[in-house]
Chains A and B, each alone.
Chain A
Amino acid sequence: MTGPDLSPRGASRRGVSPGAAEVSLAAPQPERVVIDDLLRSVARGDDAAFSRLYDLIAPRVFGLARRVLRDPAQAEEMAQEVLVEVWRTAARFDSERGSGLSWVLTIAHRRSVDRVRSEQASADRMQRVGAASMHVPYDEVADQVGTRLERQQVRRCMEGLTALQREAITLAYYGGHTYREVATLLDAALPTVKTRMRDGLIRLRDCLSVEVAR
């Protein structure tokens, strides 16, 4: 992996002060734009574009799969499947519905979650993994360099959530649990968990200044 794709990201991020958000929102996030463009080229069958896209997204797809599946060998297999699927269905990417990176990671997350759920009866998995996943910090995977700023910001925003919001989102997103499982694990009512996931995401969205370009 060569450097140029990573360095502009940190530079383009705003500082830690929420007040600075307007400035950085106006600035494009180069890497994301690059990913969108590459996806469009891949959709036209451009295999050189796909190998460049690979370098940008493979660590993210693999990292997310590894986080959800908790097994490097399975994560490798899953990441391969997802990346080939990205090649196969690139024509379905629609930049009006979100960024290319989000499109890719949505596929990666859903497939990883489907895999982890089909693997074991959920009760069994909840017993084995449930308690543990509540205590796994969200920055546990630490062999990356370029995403340090990003991770710091995500961590800061996660810390801004209520405990229930944070745990519900962590268990669901990183642990692959359904909200029903989350309710059981946290001993909370179903409607409460649904609501906390949603308002937690709203708070994270605002804290991270996420927006969908239209």
Chain B
Amino acid sequence: MTRPDIHALCGAYAVDAVDDLERAAFDRHLADCEACAAEVAEYRETATRLAEGTWAVPPPRMREQVLTRAAATPQVSAADRRRSAPSPVTRWRRIAVAAAAVGVLGLGAAATSYAALEQRLDAERIAMAAAQQRRDVMTAPDAALRAGDLAGGGRVTVVVSDLEDNGVVILNDAPPPGPDRVYQFWLVPDDGGSPVSAGLLRADQNGAIELIQGVSRGVVFAVSLEPAGGSPLPSTTPLVGISLV
């Protein structure tokens, strides 16, 4: 997959089977895609029919309570309908706040840092194909940025995109790994299984931008120092663990 097919998310979006970041990304997409808006509207009507089967008589007291509460609740004016049109912006702001609270930066931050990352990519002269894949991740509409500090120094940043099912790891300012040691990346699967290697740096390498594939299979991204040549399983305490969910 070279391009994220955001249309594939139409169905999941219409039944609220997306997370907040995907919802925000898709809201943005909908604003520019009349066909998608029509498609989603149809799925929502369809979902409404699914809801019909759940019909249930509410407790009788609820009626009076709702009518009383409504009587005390001011309504938004029809003029607000115009203002409600750019609701993705509002939604983004809300999500940015929510995301910041849990240490996750959304697409805005990822987009801002993209230029800087791009320069680094060139500087590292990494193969074009891999660079394109990383670019796809970083420009994906659902790109989310997570970061953490390594015990012993350095910082690792992970940009993940579920649409791409890939991630990009940026390791900065880490101390040299030391003789016969290397930094190794891990994905810890969400099914309780063993960590899976997600990449191995060279013996003298203490900074990197690497693609990690299949991020959806992992819930935590971790970095450890391993003997030269890497390990099949982590043999030392991880220096950092970053939740990907």
Contact = CB atoms under 8 A, between A and B. Distances in A.
Is this pair of chains taken from one and the same complex?
yes
Interface string B159-183: 0001001000000000000000000
13 contacts: A60-B52, A60-B55, A62-B62, A91-B77, A97-B41, A102-B48, A141-B55, A144-B55, A154-B52, A172-B15, A201-B11, A201-B43, A204-B46
Interface in B66-116: 66-67, 69-71, 73-78, 80-81, 84
Interface in A71-117: 76, 79-80, 83-84, 87-92, 94, 97-99, 101-102, 105-106, 108-110, 113
A178 B13 CA distance: 9
In this complex, the member of A79, A99, A123, A194 whose beta carbon has the largest number of chain B beta carbons within 10 angstroms is A194
A38 interface: no
Nearest to A153: B49
A157 to B, nearest CB: 8
Interface residues of A, number: 81
Interface string A136-169: 0011010110110011001100000000000001
Interface stretch (B16-24, B119-127, B128-136, B225-233): B16-24
A73 to B, nearest CB: 9
B216 A154 contact: no
A60 B15 contact: no
A5 interface: no
A198 B42 CA distance: 11
Contact of A198 (B10, B48, B52, B69): B10
Nearest to B57: A59
B193 interface: no
Interface of A is mostly: helix
A80 B59 CA distance: 11
Contacts of B71: 47
Contacts of A60: 51-52, 54-55
Interface of A: 1, 43, 45, 47, 50-51, 54-55, 58-60, 62-64, 66-67, 76, 79-80, 83-84, 87-92, 94, 97-99, 101-102, 105-106, 108-110, 113, 122-123, 138-139, 141, 143-144, 146-147, 150-151, 154-155, 169, 172-174, 176-180, 182-184, 190-191, 193-195, 197-202, 204-205, 208, 210-212
Contact of B15 (A51, A94, A138, A173): A173
B51 A109 contact: yes
B75 A43 contact: yes
Contacts of A212: 38, 41-42, 45
Contacts of B63: 51, 54-55, 58
Given A45-B75, A83-B66, A87-B75, 14 more contacts: A43-B75, A54-B63, A87-B70, A98-B41, A102-B41, A123-B190, A139-B53, A143-B56, A144-B55, A150-B53, A191-B1, A199-B11, A201-B47, A210-B45
Nearest to A117: B19
B28 interface: no
A179 B1 contact: no
A58 B50 contact: no
B162 to A, nearest CB: 7
A113 B78 contact: no
B155 interface: no
A146 B55 contact: yes
A76 B84 CA distance: 28
B37 interface: yes
A91 B56 contact: no
A177 to B, nearest CB: 7
A188 B80 CA distance: 43
Contacts of A62: 56-58, 62
Nearest to B87: A92
B43 A63 contact: no
B84 A92 contact: yes
